[in-house]
Amino acid sequence: MESTPDDDEVPEEELDLPGPPPAVYPVELDSKNLDKDAVKVIRRLTRYGHRAYLVGGGVRDLLLDRAPKDFDVATSAKPQEVRRLFRNCRIIGRRFRLAHILFGGGKVIEVATFRRDPSQRFHARHYPEPPEGVREDLEPPVKLAPLRSQTEEEDDLLIRNDNVFGHPHEDAVRRDFTINGLFFDLERGEVIDYVGGMPDLRRKVVRTIGDPDVRFREDPVRILRAIKFSARIDMGIDPDVYDALVEYRGELGRAARPRLLEELLRLMRGGAAHRSIYLAWDLGVLAELLPEVASFFDDDAPGTSRTWGRLMAIDRRHAEGKLPSDAVLITALLLGPLEELLEGARDPSALYDEIMEDAAFRLALPRRIKERVRLIVTSQRRLRQGKLGSLVRRDYFVEAATLFALDQEARGEDVPEWAVDPQSVSEAKPRRRRRRRRRRGGKG
């Protein structure tokens, strides 16, 4: 029988164990980047005696003077306690419960109870003395011990149980990278750092919490996340982390395939598609996900420069707030190798299925996107010839025209008016109504 969240609370004998003191950094954050609803959630939790902090990527982005996409809250309150404080709260998750607090416009503030890795035990010796100039009652960075016992089976470190409530220091250390392991105490205006995230953020370096060999084997998707943060925030990669990325890239084959697709799309959506894909290719990671594209780049095949150009055009779209659909993003990456392989084929449709079968399996590509990619690719020749015809009435015309525009930009050529705003062209074109045939020999 599966444990319920209440069964996974910290054992009584561990409740009073002192945690290692964190480093604490007073900071002044630009209030325009703070979300008023997230502030409201934290203040209500603290008013009722719970500890509550902003946590993770939102803190990182605030410290970089960026507007966070999401605001997540970590708290000592249990999910049911959160629900009692917020009428607009729903509890999600079958294994480890999370509280989603709902606001207007579909906004969700996710509230998670502090967790810990059940296999980890913390000792003060893992944490160095406070650095000079940092409050000594709460201290910092660390050369953390490996997050799992040395005697544990080393050939399978995949995390399968992460459902135990814990303390703030335990919650921080179970996260992936130091820059994502920071808490922000809204009431005191302080960043609480158990993992050395502030120094790494200042040095602009991506570093894992603990041994990178262990962390990437626990969850291989962290390999893609390391690339994402390095590219998107323009950060260097710690040498040990870089070596582990290369050594354990093959572990991606053990990750859940839908997660691989989602992380690949995040590389494409985040405003640094060109840098992200280049880094993934350079590290050999792209060869694990899309070997067709990696070998296309390796061979410097004709059209390679246009592929890089399309990725740069996608980044410009992101800056303008006009990010293409997921199908267009995937097609922009696959177009070069697909057109090269399909050129002159006797049965392009059958060959397409053969090529895409492996890619669709490796990334758990939904049939909907797979078929959309087919339609977008096969329409490109007609669009290059300017033969729009009935294409403008197809439901995929906008996406096909968007890819065409990206490709034109990559070629350094002008984008025709119909590709600049394909949505208006599609909506303006009247749909042809079929004539009804008269029945012969009818009455009348």
Angle at 93 between CA 92 and CA 96, to 5 degrees: 120
User: DSSP letter at 75?
Assistant: E
Contact 163, 3 (CB under 8 A): yes
Two tokens, residue 367: 């049939």
CA distance 208 to 242: 10
CA distance 284 to 128: 35
CA distance 26 to 8: 34
Q: State the pairing for strand pair 190-193/23-26.
A: antiparallel
Active site residue 70: yes
Name beta bridge partners: 26.
190
CA distance 376 to 303: 17
Residues in the chain: 444
CA-based nearest residue to 217, from 154, 134, 266: 154
The active-site residue out of 61, 117, 171, 176 is: 176
Could you give the C-alpha distances from 222 to 12, 80, 99, 299, in angstroms and in order? 33, 31, 24, 28
User: DSSP letter at 184?
Assistant: E
Active site residue 176: yes
Could you give the C-alpha distances from 143 to 57, 167, 368, in angstroms and in order? 22, 20, 46
CA distance 307 to 411: 10
Two tokens, residue 125: 């010796």
First-to-last C-alpha distance (Å) of the chain: 74
Two tokens, residue 133: 């100039």
Name every residue whose Cβ is closer than 8 Å to that of residue 6 and which is 6 or more positions away in sequence.
Answer: 78
Two tokens, residue 154: 């080393």
The active-site residue out of 8, 72, 171, 211 is: 72
Name every residue whose Cβ is closer than 8 Å to that of residue 420 and which is 6 or more positions away in sequence.
Answer: 405
Active site residue 282: no
In three-state secondary structure terms, 42 is: helix
CA distance 128 to 4: 36
Contact 183, 53 (CB under 8 A): yes
Active centre residues (catalytic): 70, 72, 176
